[in-house]
A and B are shown apart, each in its own frame.
Chain A
Amino acid sequence: NAGVTQTPKFRVLKTGQSMTLLCAQDMNHEYMYWYRQDPGMGLRLIHYSVGEGTTAKGEVPDGYNVSRLKKQNFLLGLESAAPSQTSVYFCASSQIGTGDQPQHFGDGTRLSIL
């Protein structure tokens, strides 16, 4: 039971470098989300997708781009990493966006920008 898998688990980048975080889910969920978690704060939504080929901005989208070319994958890109993007990134998925269906989370990616 893989659920939601995030790759990589840890990464250190230099300011200005680019990278892509991969999220894969094997539950055939329609909805997928990217959050970031900073110390002393709850999770904040970066971008989300309500189905294959769709994306939308969340609360803190600046500096990030996303793509959902396949239903099972949701990619988060940092084009030019900044120290302010040092955070723990969580991907989540859910079957629908209403009712009692919870979001299922990956184990997180710890990203440090030097």
Chain B
Amino acid sequence: AQKITQTQPGMFVQEKEAVTLDCTYDTSDPSYGLFWYKQPSSGEMIFLIYQGSYDQQNATEGRYSLNFQKARKSANLVISASQLGDSAMYFCAMREPGGGKLIFGQGTELSVKP
């Protein structure tokens, strides 16, 4: 069965520093997609970044990048130059084949300290 694991319930980072949020996944399908979403305290789900299983390069979107290690089945989110507004829950998700369903990890709560 497909599964997403986020082992860090909570993380702290100093403002302007970089932080890595861990995500490991398990699937037997060769074709899959990995997504990261941000959920601030206001509750909405904000799409951050996507990595496809066949993508040769790590995805980047502004201050967000994805450290994709396919052999290790990990897709860690790296946030550079943390800002106070980055304080939120972060969810890693994997798209299942057929229907586009997402399987979510448990989330990591990131707190950025001034």
B77 within 8 A of A: no
| Nearest chain B residue, comparing its CB with the CB of A101 | B100
Bound-state Cα–Cα, A42 to B6, Å: 10
A44-B104, A90-B45, A108-B43 in contact; A99/B99 too (CB < 8 A)? no
| Nearest chain A residue, comparing its CB with the CB of B55 | A100
Asked if A50 contacts B99 (CB within 8 A), the reply is: yes
Asked if A48 contacts B99 (CB within 8 A), the reply is: yes
Asked if B44 contacts A43 (CB within 8 A), the reply is: no
Residues 89-105 of chain B, each 1 if its beta carbon lies under 8 Å from chain A, else 0: 00101010111111111
Instruction: For chain A, give the interface size range.
Output: 20 to 34
Asked if B99 contacts A102 (CB within 8 A), the reply is: no
Asked if A42 contacts B101 (CB within 8 A), the reply is: no
Choose among B95, B97, B100, B105 the residue with the greatest number of A CB atoms under 10 Å from its CB.
B100
Residues 26-66 of chain B, each 1 if its beta carbon lies under 8 Å from chain A, else 0: 00000001010100000111010010100000000000000
| B47 cross-chain contacts in A, Cβ below 8 A | 102-104
**A28 to chain B: closest CB distance in Å?**
16
Asked if B99 contacts A31 (CB within 8 A), the reply is: yes
A52 within 8 A of B: no
Extra pairs beyond A50-B99, A97-B99, A99-B52 (16, CB < 8 Å): A31-B99, A33-B101, A41-B106, A42-B4, A42-B104, A43-B93, A43-B104, A45-B103, A90-B45, A92-B102, A97-B100, A98-B33, A98-B100, A101-B100, A103-B102, A105-B44
The 5 A-B residue pairs with the shortest CB-CB distance, nearest first, are A97-B100, A42-B104, A105-B45, A102-B47, A43-B104
Q: Which residues of B contact A (CB under 8 A)?
A: 4, 6, 33, 35, 37, 43-45, 47, 50, 52, 91, 93, 95, 97-107
